Amino acid sequence: MNTSKARITAIGSYVPEKKLTNHDLEKLVETNDEWIVQRTGIKERRIALTTEFTSDISVKAVENLKERFKKSLDDVDMIIACTMTPDFKTPSVSALVQAKLGIKNTGAIDLNAACSGFAYGLHIANGLITAGLNKKILVIGAETFSKILDYSDRSTCILFGDGGGAVLVEYDEENPSFIESHMGTNGELAHNLYCTDLSNQMFGNELAVNGFVNQNGREVYKWAVNTVPKGVKALLDKAGYKTNDVDWFIPHSANLRIIESICSRTGLSLEQTIYSLEYYGNTSAASIPLSLDKGLQEGKLKPNDTLLLYGFGGGLTHAGMLINWSI
């Protein structure tokens, strides 16, 4: 078991005001509310303004954290922005966040592990603080997925939405949050979920080059429902925990059918699962922090609850962690 010296001390979130409902989508593609809900559990999603980007959403999530928890961010010494929809190739989202928040002395890096991003970001923040390299880190998960969606492709446009969440991770040797982590990658399956950029080939094969998200939903589904339960078991075994030691399961909010399948294969109940997809859709790296904040604001998460977070998606990557909740 890891000896952590890092604690999650505050959380904040933000979603754009504009809603895109299933009924709105009926006007764009051949689909309907019943079909979408039955297959995904999603009813609506939030859409960023044309002038609103991932850095803007990130800043608003951090400002929400600061306001609610009365935290000073002046001494933050690292910002980790987890996203696959940055405003620019450079500067990074984290550098823009630093500038917009006026934090004077901090490192700033972006991390792209797609839908696993936030779990990876927490893992790195814990490592940096436990190693004594940093004392106070902002970990942000934020996306403006609507900007890379083809709204004539019903296989993808019904799934994704925009939003962001942020947590503050601080040095705390007495009451650490991080119990154990587990992660893995199946890069050989990467062609099942991609968005083209500089290259139009993968493993020597031509890709559909349109700058939009392309997904083989059937293959990603199959991978997730097989890989995540094994990862959950490995994580629990590593920590010496059982499923009944977990108070809340907070998976990436990809699709309710995937979550149901993972629950049935792991013995975790849907009643102890918190997800954010119903009204926000799949928000990639933002989905776990949005779910965490939802659980907190609904009064579900209590101090000393054991949470099992699990991210999975593009890469194909996955990452899980056991957290002792202490907010």
Question: Which regions of the chain does DSSP assign to beta strands (E)?
Answer: 6-14, 19-21, 44-46, 78-82, 107-111, 136-144, 162-171, 178-185, 193-195, 201-202, 205-206, 213-215, 248-251, 306-313, 317-324
From residue 100, give the alpha-carbon distance in Å to each of 71, 72, 166, 308: 17, 15, 15, 33
Cβ-contact 211, 152 below 8 angstroms:
no
Cβ-contact 115, 282 below 8 angstroms:
yes
Cβ-contact 114, 317 below 8 angstroms:
yes
Among 123, 105, 99, 104, residue whose Cα is nearest residue 113 = 123
Contact residues for 126 (Cβ-Cβ < 8 A; gap 6+):
2, 4, 6, 169, 177, 178, 181
Active site residue ranges: 115, 252, 282
The secondary structure of residue 252, as a DSSP letter, is -
From residue 180, give the alpha-carbon distance in Å to each of 109, 130, 151, 240: 23, 13, 40, 10
Among 78, 146, 81, residue whose Cα is nearest residue 117 = 81
* HSE of 32, CA atoms in CB hemisphere, 13 A: 2
Residue that the structure tokens 């492709």 belong to: 153
The secondary structure of residue 82, as a DSSP letter, is E
Token output for 3: 């000896």
